[in-house]
Amino acid sequence: MKPYRLLFDHVLTRTDPERAHHTAFRAIRAAEPLTRRRPVASSPVTAMGLAFPNVLGLAAGFDKNAVGIDALAALGFGHVEIGTVTGEAQPGNPRPRLFRLPEDRAVVNRMGFNNDGAEVVARRLAERVRGLDRLDQRTRPVLGVNIGKTKVVPEDDEAAVLADYEKSARLLSPYADYLVVNVSSPNTPGLRNLQAVERLRPLLEHVRRTADAVTEQRVPLLVKIAPDLSDDDVLAVADLAGAIGLDGIIATNTTISREGLRTPGAKVEEIGAGGLSGQPLTERALEVMRLLRGRVGDDLTLIGVGGITTVEDARARLAAGATLLQGYTAFIYEGPLWPRRIVAGVSG
């Protein structure tokens, strides 16, 4: 058994997951001077007019507040997506709100978009820009910024929702290589209702106009969707993306389903609500990717995320039509060498 797997299974699983996350993230940031010295053998990817150092990125949720972008990239990620950032700072849901399901190599979270808010994150990103000259242009990560709805904004008040997303887009677009509208987290009440195309279209168009108004160069815009959408709804989002000139779709977010888990039902019930990520998502996320690529053809960028653990998983997602990949839960379970393994495995 690999050393990290032993550490995780026998030590980290006995530690509060959220506390373990913060401890690990501090260690990653502290180790950046060392990890940056190890180049990652990879094949660059061009998508949305951007040059990605490699195909694998870190999904939103790990670095919510833009505090470790370049340290994470030094581990092997070609792009890092920060957030989800909301217009206003918010503490998120009460703890405990993060749970491991080791038998399933899965995680349940109901974090609730805890973050420092768009104003603070924008200032942090501005500070980062001033220090980017120290990084080699060839290995500098592509930065994605994922924005979502502030919890106190009523989902059924369209003007308020648009204004909330507008604030985040206005403040953060100038620092983003690409921008993501998140309407698929299960942990903000009513958020997933915004995935309906009649709600989604005006939101995406408004974010597009806002981003264009505050940037000199066009920032690619994507939407992140849930695996729990019906096939027809997935296809409807694909059609909408083509109709309004969206640059891409990220598929998929976490699921509210608990079907087929190895974890005892009593434990799952005790954990309660939240989005499930990790290996149980593999099959559905792969299906959604095939549906999307079959509908949009070759023009749209599709980022595959959800249940990608092994090199074989990564290759299967690319074969299904993904342009780029993202991971999160496998990074937690497999450790800091995981990004390099995946990148090496799909670059050969």
- DSSP assignment string, 254-314: -B---TT-SS-HHHHHHH-SSEEEEGGGHHHHHHHHHHHHHHHTTSSEEEEESS--SHHHH
At 132, the pLDDT band (50, 70, 90 cuts) reads confident
Q: CATH assignment of 3-347? A: 3.20.20.70
**Residue 1: what pLDDT?**
52
Give the residue numbers of the binding site: 60-64, 84, 109-113, 146, 182, 187, 224, 252-254, 278, 307, 328-329
CA end-to-end distance (rounded Å), the chain: 25
Strands 79-86 and 56-58: parallel
pLDDT at 216 over 60: yes
Mean pLDDT for all residues in the chain: 94
pLDDT at 13 over 90: no
Rg of the chain (C-alpha set): 19
Residues with Cβ within 8 Å of 130's Cβ and at least 6 positions away in sequence, in order, are none
d(CA 187, CA 295): 29
Contact 261, 104 (CB under 8 A): yes
Q: Which of 126, 216, 137 is CA-nearest to residue 175?
A: 126
d(CA 172, CA 272): 33
Q: Which of 67, 219, 218 is CA-nearest to residue 128?
A: 67
Model pLDDT for residues 172-184, shown as the tens digit of each residue: 999 999 999 999 9
185 is catalytic: yes
- Exposed, middle or buried: residue 238 (CB in 10 Å: 0-12, 13-18, 19+)? buried
Model pLDDT for residues 188-207, shown as the tens digit of each residue: 999 999 999 999 999 999 99
**Residue 37: what pLDDT?**
79
**Residue 143: what pLDDT?**
98
Give the residue numbers of the binding site for substrate: 64, 109-113, 182, 187, 253-254
Give the residue numbers of the binding site for FMN: 60-64, 84, 146, 182, 224, 252, 278, 307, 328-329
**Which residue ranges make up each domain of the chain?**
3-347
Mean pLDDT of 323-348: 95
Residues with Cβ within 8 Å of 128's Cβ and at least 6 positions away in sequence, in order, are 66, 69, 70, 175
Which range (14-23, 113-122, 153-162, 335-344) has the least confidence? Answer: 14-23
Length of the chain: 348
Strands 79-86 and 98-101: unpaired
Model pLDDT for residues 247-280, shown as the tens digit of each residue: 999 999 999 999 999 999 999 999 999 999 999 9
C-beta neighbour count of 271 within 10 angstroms: 18
Q: Which of 155, 18, 144 is CA-nearest to residue 91?
A: 18
* pTM, full prediction: 0.96
**Residue 104: what pLDDT?**
98
Out of 185, 230, 277, 347, the active site residue is 185
